[in-house]
Structure 1
Amino acid sequence: MTWEPERLDDQRHLGEGDPGGMLPAVAASAAHVRTGYRTAVEARLDRLADHGRPRAIVVAGMGGSAIAGDILAAVVGNGAPLPIVTLRSYQLPGWVGATDLVIAVSGSGETEETLSVATQAVRRGCTLLGVGAPGTPLEAIARQASAVYVPVPVTGQSRANLWLLSIPPIVAAAALRLVSVDADLFERVARSLEDLAHRCRPSSESFINPGKSLAMDLAESVPMVWGSSPAASVAAYRLVCQLGANAKYPAIHGELPEADHHQVAALDGPMAERDIFADTASRTLRLVVLRDVEEHPQVTRRREASLRLARERDVPVTELTADGVHPLERMASLIGLGDYASTYLALGYDIDPTSVSAITEVKARISQ
């Protein structure tokens, strides 16, 4: 597999190389925001308030579904009067009990880890909220327990349905008065994603297309992706996950200030060395920093110092700034760009961004 950037402006290749339609799926993000909100409202999530405010919220999910928990925690923010925990596991923690809310998120509605946690939540008397495809085992568990379920119209891979799965938990948090959001916010997010879809459309050439430009930055490098706030860190983690799933490409996630206590040392390591006389491009470290306007003042100083350190060592740097006023808007601006970049990176390497044969093979092996 070789990187050929000219593929990104070859409209025929972009169509034939993406048989599963990952690019159209990313372009549908705005519609997913609107549908996710409408479906959540129709599911009467306001009923969750009947149980009172929970002691804690546990969001259970795997892969693209689990990001919903990270997004929820970042939207509610540090002022939350209760802990919001994302659980990527088969086992519900021992401290979770009848006074807690468990939100089980599964795009397929069949994720075995999530089904296990949802079943345990029902047995312990937790309040359960299910989010996933209709007519699935997850919905059956929720309905049998008389729990609220949001049947979202998921198609294709769960990671391509991020906003369908992430909006309902935010609406649930609003019903519990943990965060103030309304239809106008979700419409602003949808409009910003529509604008991004226009700028990142396949027919837009690489030199003006931010998605293609970021893919070209990441190609032939080992990206170390840092977020400068909890919201930006969610987007950084999402980008790393999308690079793995879409482009089959390794990357490293970090969050400032923590990354400055270990990962920054990689700027002095073997992957930071560049051979300018090499006949072929060598895969070297690239520092990718996702900025947020709400970063801590000391984090701002650390970010600026880290970027200077990288540039002084001739380590390539990419710095992206979130757009928007609300944390959800800012996350969406960074996540949307990363989703496009990971898809274009796959297509530049002539890799099908939808195929996940290794994941499928692992599932088949453990089921034997």
Structure 2
Amino acid sequence: MYVDLDDLHTLSELDSGQALQETINYPHQFREAWELAGRWPENLSRDEIRQIMFLGTGGGSAASVDLLASYLFDEIKVPLFLNRGYTIPASIDNRTLVVVVSHSGKTEEILNAYHQVCTTEAQIIVLTSGGKLLSLARENKHPYLLIPGGMMPRIAVGYIFLPLLGLLQRLGFVGDKSAEVKETINILSELSGQYGPIVPAKDNLAKSMAYEMAGYVPVVYGSLPLTIAVASRWKNQFAENSKLLAMYNALPALHHDEVAGWDAPQSYLRHFYFTFLQDAEDRLEITRRIEISQELLASRAAGVRKVSSVGKSRLARLFSLVYLGDFISLYLALIRGVDPTPVEIIDNIKYLLTLESRTE
């Protein structure tokens, strides 16, 4: 028996951390985040930088960097990559800019990698809301920017993404993004009025898709190079918010391997709901591949749907898709009576790791 997504009282009772309200507030968050992005220290330099490595992991930091890389893939002239683990590559040198990103400032892997970076000649910059990372940045005299804390990192995507974009703009790696950011905020404001809980399911794409997906495994397909990061974001939001395993991949790559799995017995494929992410910049070949994929899956899967980005600028379009996925993931939790905020298994893993470290 599913929860009525138009029952606002029940939704409010289930949503202990007010994740829905925090998501509705994205336009305000993005506006404030872009103001923060202009507060990076003045003494930053791009001299001799030949590559940029971000240290970050999880639904806030890593997701933001992935989106940044997709957004800037054909504009930024230096290699930009994300390092999510405990160790750093051997290529880090005095021509590397390392941007250390941890919303909490307590992420174990990132702190470990940060200590390693400190033994190199790389330029180091820090983005955090506090914690041990802030203390270390101050101790080592590394430039840093403070962002608001007290929220789930996965909901702080604006507070992480936009300061990183502002940093690259400040250093001259990209042009002025103010107009695109302004449009993005306007688009999010419009979509907030379409996807919010007060809008009934019959007029609400996010609610209707949650109803369609309920009871099935979500599979999200983006495209290379633009929307693969959005597809990854959807998958991770289904995990953290909806407490569901999900899958993601991207065209055209999946047509060379994963597609073979579509020949699985129909009794198996009937457990999966497929969503294709379409963007205005997709090549005609990608559009055709989406059409062919939909035709092939229509009679095999539990459901197949294509959703298109909204907006003129690339930034607005990417975040229009991110925003839809975030709302769907929340409704997909609430429709099953699940509180989207707690991530008990993640907290338990951290606790068990702490116990082990104390006994070593």
Whether the 8 Å CA contact 2:272–2:301 is kept in 1: the answer is: no
Structure 2 partner of 1:31? 28
Structure 2 partner of 1:277? none
Structure 2 partner of 1:123? 119
> Post-superposition shift, 1:53?
5.1
Structure 2 partner of 1:279? none
Task: Output one character per residue of 1:187-237: Cα deviation in whole Å (capped at 9) or x when no partner.
Answer: 211121111111112111111112211211221111211102433111111
Structure 2 partner of 1:205? 200
Task: Output one character per residue of 1:233-278: Cα deviation in whole Å (capped at 9) or x when no partner.
Answer: 11111010000000101110101111112222232214x438xxxx
Whether the 8 Å CA contact 2:50–2:96 is kept in 1: the answer is: yes
- Does 1:333 find its partner at 2:320? yes
Structure 2 partner of 1:254? 249
- Does 1:342 find its partner at 2:329? yes
- Does 1:188 find its partner at 2:175? no
Distance change in 2, residues 1:61/1:11 (3 Å): same
> For 1:53 and 1:295, how far apart are their aligned partners in 2?
34
> Post-superposition shift, 1:79?
4.1
Structure 1 partner of 2:358? none
2:295 to 308, 312, 315: 308
The unaligned stretches of length 5 or more in structure 2 are 356-360
How many residue pairs match? The answer is 354
Distance change in 2, residues 1:301/1:99 (3 Å): same
Q: Specify the SS of the correspondent of 2:203.
A: coil
Report matched runs for 1:1-368 at 5 Å. Answer: 4=2, 6-44=3-41, 47-48=43-44, 50-52=45-47, 54-64=49-59, 65-134=61-130, 136-270=131-265, 272-273=266-267, 284-313=271-300, 315-368=302-355
Q: Specify the SS of the correspondent of 1:231.
A: coil
Q: Specify the SS of the correspondent of 2:241.
A: helix
2:153 maps to a residue whose letter is S
Q: Specify the SS of the correspondent of 2:78.
A: coil
Task: Output one character per residue of 1:304-361: Cα deviation in whole Å (capped at 9) or x when no partner.
Answer: 2111111243552110111122221111100011101100110001011001000011
Whether the 8 Å CA contact 2:46–2:171 is kept in 1: the answer is: no
2:272 maps to a residue whose letter is L
1:132 maps to a residue whose letter is T
Task: Output one character per residue of 1:134-162: Cα deviation in whole Å (capped at 9) or x when no partner.
Answer: 3x211222222322211011222110111
Q: Specify the SS of the correspondent of 1:66.
A: helix
Whether the 8 Å CA contact 1:311–1:317 is kept in 2: the answer is: yes
- The structure 1 segments of at least 4 consecutive aligned residues displaced by more than 6 Å after TM superposition are none
Identity of matched residues, %: 29
Instruction: Please report the TM-score for the alignment, with normalisation by the length of structure 1.
Output: 0.91
Whether the 8 Å CA contact 1:234–1:331 is kept in 2: the answer is: no
> Post-superposition shift, 1:176?
2.8
Distance change in 2, residues 1:53/1:352 (3 Å): farther
Larger mean CA deviation between 138-147 and 358-367 belongs to: 138-147
Instruction: Please report the TM-score for the alignment, with normalisation by the length of structure 2.
Output: 0.93
> Post-superposition shift, 1:183?
2.5
> Post-superposition shift, 1:93?
1.0
The unaligned stretches of length 5 or more in structure 1 are 275-281
Q: Specify the SS of the correspondent of 1:150.
A: strand
Q: Kindly report the root-mean-square deviation, in angstroms, between the aligned alpha carbons of the 2 structures.
A: 1.8
> For 1:75 and 1:300, how far apart are their aligned partners in 2?
19
